[in-house]
């Protein structure tokens, strides 16, 4: 059995805490939560308000012995299909499963409210730890996490206010350096095409591009946002409409490699020469980037390293039963290829 299982939860908001705040008995609270139709509307409102204020979560693992601790680690990621998340999932499993833990993966689909619902549902089963993306969380989700008081890892992106353990990449810096790289290559009309740019690391990349443009006295209005998804077809659809809107565009950064690949394939189809007429660059480095014609310049982010480092930090926290804040920055590099 892993030494990590020695850890016990503490500081959890209890039914008695809710009862005290609502000014009722614990049995009344229990009844209101289990069979609300048997409790008056006025009492239900007071109890519901106390539950929300305290961030109370029923403990569905309460039947277990008090000395036992869970071997489940809950992982909420923005997607379960992207290159980055696949790399991190495999890395997390490779470290945590041999240590005796089982991982439960779910995805928020880039929706912070959906993430909040998943945090609430998963924490009711008292997992040993929680792994989340390093992105802003709702205040209610943070309240749930604080009240359960278990090890939490924020992964992939560095965040300004880590909850506990944060292992990731400075995505703002990666976009800044990629934009600066294009500037040094002689490009001046540099655009940005993005999907999910209101979420976490993609918002950081957008901000990094904008800062680099402003720092180099370049206009930052060539911007396509709000795309429905990051896919080859969406990237292909963007090419002509973007060039029609900004015919002077000489380079473009895509938030996802799938968007950039679709753009390259459509450019080849239409006889647009890359990079002579348009340079293309992106983030992450799945195999397709090197097989495209022309091959695609990327910011290579070692997501497998991120996952393994995050998993090891979590094991250390579980084994030592400690909650000291840990922040680890993982580096990146620009892979220059024929598309620029």
Query: Given pLDDT bands bounded at 50, 70 and 90, which one contains residue 38?
Result: confident
Q: What is the mean pLDDT of residues 143-148?
A: 88
Q: Most distant CA pair in the chain: distance in Å?
A: 75
Position with higher pLDDT, 34 vs 4: 34
Mean pLDDT across the chain:
89
Residue 228 CA, chain-centre distance (Å), reads 18
Least confident window among 51-65, 106-120, 308-322: 51-65
pLDDT in tens, 270-279: 999 999 999 9
CA angle 284, 269, 293 (to 5 degrees): 40
Whether residue 124 has a cis bond before it, omega within 30° of 0: no
**Burial (CB count <10 Å: 0-12, 13-18, 19+), residue 71:** middle
The third-level CATH classification (topology) of the domain covering 171-300 is Rossmann fold (3.40.50)
In terms of residues, how long is the chain? Answer: 340
Least confident window among 171-175, 199-203, 230-234, 287-291: 199-203
Measured CA to CA, the distance from residue 228 to residue 108 in angstroms comes to 16
pLDDT in tens, 232-276: 999 999 999 999 999 999 999 999 999 999 999 999 999 999 999
pLDDT in tens, 283-316: 998 888 999 999 999 999 999 999 999 999 999 9
Measured CA to CA, the distance from residue 268 to residue 57 in angstroms comes to 55
pLDDT in tens, 5-33: 444 444 678 888 888 888 888 878 887 88
Task: Please tell me what DSSP assigns to residue 293.
Answer: S
């Amino acid at each position: 059995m892993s030494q990590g299982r020695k850890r016990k939860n503490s500081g959890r908001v209890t039914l008695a805490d809710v009862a005290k705040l609502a000014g009722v008995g614990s049995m009344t609270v229990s009844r209101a939560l289990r069979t609300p139709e048997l409790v008056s509307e006025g009492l239900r409102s007071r109890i519901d308000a106390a539950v929300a204020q305290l961030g109370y979560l029923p403990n569905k693992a309460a039947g277990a012995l008090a000395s036992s601790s869970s071997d489940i680690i809950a992982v909420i990621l923005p997607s379960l299909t992207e290159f980055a998340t696949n790399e991190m999932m495999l890395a997390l499993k490779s470290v945590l499963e041999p240590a005796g833990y089982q991982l439960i993966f779910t995805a928020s689909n880039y929706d912070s409210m959906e993430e909040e619902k998943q945090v609430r549902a998963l924490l009711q089963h008292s997992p040993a730890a929680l792994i989340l993306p390093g992105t802003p969380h709702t205040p209610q989700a943070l309240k749930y996490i604080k009240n359960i008081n278990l090890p939490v890892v924020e992964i992939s992106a560095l965040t300004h206010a880590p909850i506990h353990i944060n292992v990731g990449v400075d995505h703002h810096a990666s976009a800044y350096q990629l934009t600066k790289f294009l500037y040094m290559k002689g490009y001046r009309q540099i655009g940005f095409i993005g999907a999910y740019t209101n979420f976490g690391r993609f918002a950081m990349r957008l901000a990094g591009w904008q800062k680099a443009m402003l720092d180099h006295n370049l206009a930052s209005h060539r911007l396509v946002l709000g795309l429905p998804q990051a896919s080859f077809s969406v990237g292909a659809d963007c090419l002509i409409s973007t060039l029609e809107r900004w015919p002077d565009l000489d380079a473009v950064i895509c938030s996802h490699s799938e968007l950039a690949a679709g753009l390259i394939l459509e450019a080849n189809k239409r006889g647009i020469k890359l990079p002579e007429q348009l340079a293309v660059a992106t983030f992450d480095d799945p195999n397709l980037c090197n097989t495209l014609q022309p091959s695609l310049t990327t910011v290579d982010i070692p997501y497998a390293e991120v996952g393994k480092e995050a998993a090891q930090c979590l094991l250390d926290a579980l084994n030592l039963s400690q909650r000291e804040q840990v922040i680890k920055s993982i580096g990146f590099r620009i892979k220059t290829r024929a598309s620029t």
